[in-house]
Amino acid sequence: MDHFKDLKNTLSYIHSELNRMETMAGTLSTVEREHFKRLTNFDHRELMDIAVEEQNAARQLGTMKQMCLAMAQKIEGMKKAIDRGELGESAQHDTVH
Amino acid sequence: MIRFIENIIRSAVNETIDKAVTRMIRDQYIENLFEMVPATTKVGPTNLMEIAMRANQGTPVSRPLGSPIHLSPWEKILFNPCHLFRFPTPENVGIRTSITIGHRAKKPLTISIPIMIAAMSFGGALSKNTKIALAKASTAVGTATNSGEAGLLREERDSAQLFIGQYNRGGWMNTPDKYKQLDAIEIQLGQGAQGSTFQRTAAKNIGEEFREVFCLDKGEDAVIHSRLPGVNTKDDFIQLVRRLRDETGVPVGLKIAATHHLEKELDIAVEAEVDFVTVDGAEGGTHGGSPTLQDDVGLPTLFAVSRASEFFARKGVIRDINLIATGGLVTPGQMLKAIALGADGVYIGTAAVMALVSEQMVKAVPFEPPTSLVVYTGKMTDQLDVEQAALNLTRYLNACVQEMEHVAVTLGKTAITDITKSDLCTIDPFIAKATGIQLGYISSENQDRFFTETEPMFDDYHSPYNQNLNVLPVYTESQDRETNPDKISDQV
């Protein structure tokens, strides 16, 4: 039983950190997007390339945000499965076989 | 001095053209060079040259980049901006561009933009440098690139953050040591420009590295069979999908040429529980398919996407199986329309290659085509600057996605994936009927009334064709004027 309590605590920790990472990715994505806008104000080819990099970074941070969200949902599902005793049953079933 | 030379040249040109025009006016057609003009107009410049090539070579012409015929009327579909009934998206809101392929897989594939680099193989199609440049650009924008029908090219795998590999009919990626290194597996059974026909790269065109990557013996041709080895029944395919999914955990998909049998093919893909399906429309490119396969085989991309998406919705698997559209998608507008019609993402091939060589094509023209810098058998592949090529493609992809984002803003959407058929209208009643996109001529409320009232007109229109074909022809305004001059004015 303690084993599952530990697992649940670990999952809770990962869940909260994923939520934090999601927020950070969202914030950084906004910052990168702002940088893109500012850099495109200059009529300079090299700065334009940096702006494009910033834009791509903004989109990838947006993707990270989505990935964190998806993983947090999966972990939430696992936590609920532990609460319902489903994970325990399945683990015991595996042990028997 | 320069003025003097210019005057001489002008005078010579004037004299020559005067004589040529005079001869063309006086000579009978049979001995007149002007005959080339009506002949070319009648046969078409591409067909004229290909007739000459066939006559010269005696073998099917190997035409790179796919068919010049574009049968997907994307230009007849338009997006609907909003102002008040739904407000446009504020400019400080970022548009979500990422998509996830294979939700049910153990390791889904999430890409940052809905555009991926299409399957173009090393050796069979492109040079190693080109493949590396494509991989680098895809990594820079956070998307995936595709191996094409090839073995595992180590440098390409290392340069690509996300790498989709084709389990192919040549068998070169079909061993666990190779396909276990992929981020998604696409089982390749066909492609838009070539259907499911066999292909062969002659040993004389196979260099040492090509031979190594494809594990070929010296002097051995590289053969793509018409069937996937070991897959001769529906159950063989289902077993293969399950085996690959269990062994790797990555999304496993199917790539087929779009055909009028689409739903029958997709039904088996649904039964096999594939994670994604790539439909390659008739406009799809290739490294060098024969013109007949390119021009006369397959279903246009627009209708393939619409039909596939509708089929998945009807089967209730639209959230389980991702639809990837490819084949002749050149502009961001076309790509986004494919997404609005139900595709989750798109592959681009020709456009990506053109973007890649854009600034460097001056190295090749006017004496060689730009493709000589990128195709495996090209004369100038060693002159391609990989970093510059990757940068150009990165810029191009960024520009495309940004243009898509602009459309999303005007539609009041916050994610590219939220754009649907309801954001479109069409100016072609046949497309409206075929795809379920509303007809732009009349208000949403009057759509049914319009089609009920004009039903006799549609019957009149298709009846002469229907006698033999039992299908509705693709509507064109000129055809309608020819067949029914009165009705077109009624309609407008």
* Residue B419 C-alpha, separation from nearest chain A C-alpha, in angstroms: 18
A56, A61, A69: best to mutate for the B interface, most B CBs within 10 A: A56
DSSP H or E stretch at residue A25: helix A2-39
pLDDT exceeds cutoff 60 at A49: yes
Counting Cα atoms < 13 Å in the Cβ hemisphere of A37 gives 8
Residues of chain A neighbouring B111 (CB-CB closer than 8 A): 63
Instruction: Give the bridge partners for B425, in sequence order.
Output: B78, B438
3-state DSSP percent of chain A in helix, strand and coil, to 5: 90, 0, 10
List the single residue in B98, B391, B394 with the smallest CB-CB distance to A62.
B98
* Residue A92 C-alpha, separation from nearest chain B C-alpha, in angstroms: 22
Closest by CA to B86, choosing from B396, B418, B325, B343, is B418
**In angstroms, how far is the first alpha carbon of chain A from the final one?**
20
pLDDT exceeds cutoff 50 at B480: no
Average pLDDT over residues B233-253: 97
* Residue B96 C-alpha, separation from nearest chain A C-alpha, in angstroms: 7
3-state DSSP percent of chain B in helix, strand and coil, to 5: 50, 15, 40
Cβ contact (<8 Å) for A30 and B94? yes
* Residue A32 C-alpha, separation from nearest chain B C-alpha, in angstroms: 11
SS3 of residue B195 by DSSP? strand
pLDDT exceeds cutoff 70 at B490: no
Assign B474 a pLDDT band (cuts: 50, 70, 90).
very low
pLDDT exceeds cutoff 80 at B467: no
For residue B344, which phi and psi values (nearest 5 degrees)? -85, -35
B391 to chain A: nearest residue by CA? A49
SS3 of residue B361 by DSSP? helix
Assign A85 a pLDDT band (cuts: 50, 70, 90).
confident
Cβ contact (<8 Å) for A63 and B111? yes
Residues of chain A neighbouring B139 (CB-CB closer than 8 A): none
A32 to chain B: nearest residue by CA? B94
Please provide the average confidence, as pLDDT, over all residues in chain B: 91
Average pLDDT over residues B413-435: 95
Cβ contact (<8 Å) for A59 and B140? no
Burial class (CB in 10 A: 0-12, 13-18, 19+), B184: buried
Q: In sequence order, which residues have a C-beta less than 8 Å from that of residue B321 and are 6 or more positions away?
A: B269, B270, B274, B275, B276, B277, B312
Give the pair of three-digit tokens for residue B113.
């933009």
Q: What is the pTM of this model?
A: 0.86
- The ipTM (two decimal places) reads 0.79
Average pLDDT over residues B392-403: 96
Assign A93 a pLDDT band (cuts: 50, 70, 90).
very low
Sign of the CA dihedral B455, B458, B462, B463?
Answer: positive
List the single residue in A49, A52, A66 with the smallest CB-CB distance to B98.
A66
Cβ contact (<8 Å) for B140 and A49? no
Q: How far apart are CA B61 and CA B68, in angstroms?
A: 14
* Residue B142 C-alpha, separation from nearest chain A C-alpha, in angstroms: 6
**Which amino acid, residue B191?**
Q
Q: What is the pLDDT of residues B43-76, one digit of tens each?
A: 999 999 999 999 999 989 988 888 899 999 999 9
Please count the other Cβ atoms lying within 10 Å of the Cβ belonging to residue B13: 10
Closest by CA to A60, choosing from B402, B141, B108, is B141
Assign B458 a pLDDT band (cuts: 50, 70, 90).
low
pLDDT exceeds cutoff 80 at B483: no
Residues of chain A neighbouring B391 (CB-CB closer than 8 A): 49
The pLDDT score that the predictor gives to residue A88 is 58
A46 to chain B: nearest residue by CA? B391
A63, A65, A69: best to mutate for the B interface, most B CBs within 10 A: A63
Closest by CA to B180, choosing from B244, B241, B228, B254, is B244
For residue B308, which phi and psi values (nearest 5 degrees)? -65, -45
